Amino acid sequence: MKGKLGVLVACLSLLGSGAGLIAHHSFSTEYDGTKTFKLTGAVSKVEWTNPHVRFYVDVVQAGKTETWNMELASPSALARNGWTSRTLKVGDKVTVEGYAAKVALNRGNARSVITADGRSLFGGAADDNAPGGGGNQ
């Protein structure tokens, strides 16, 4: 157990150091580049809206259901990367990896969405300013 915890801490600290080097304002004022999450649940709502597409995931933990508000890039940025408004549908089982909100509970900046049929979807824009995004805005 101690070993696994050590691995987790090491990985999180490395992610944090990477994030600190290239994070920019709009991401860092909203999300914590060191607070990663990986959650699995069912999509309960999809908002194909500007400025950010959002989808909501019902996550069951310890017998209790919590709804997470997941932020993606803009519809246009996602469309340019192959998404459509029908890529995620209510009821889809997904695994989401991303960065948690700095303040609000159950909000996340989703970077990776893995669908039940195995598709791996990048949720940001190619050059956005989240850790790893490599952009300025």
Footprint of another protein (CB under 8 A): 3, 6-7, 10-11, 14-15, 18, 21-22, 24-26, 29-31, 36, 47, 49-52, 54, 69, 71, 74-77, 79-83, 97-99, 101-104, 107, 109, 111-112, 114, 119-122, 124-128, 131-137
CB of 58 to another protein, least distance (A): 19
CB of 98 to another protein, least distance (A): 7
The residue whose two tokens read 């987790």 is 8
Phi-psi region of 118 (alpha: psi -120 to 50; beta: other; left: phi over 0): left
CB of 43 to another protein, least distance (A): 17
Nearer to another protein, 42 or 97 (CB): 97
Nearer to another protein, 57 or 107 (CB): 107
- How far is C-alpha 101 from the geometric centre of its chain's CA atoms? 10
Nearer to another protein, 43 or 77 (CB): 77
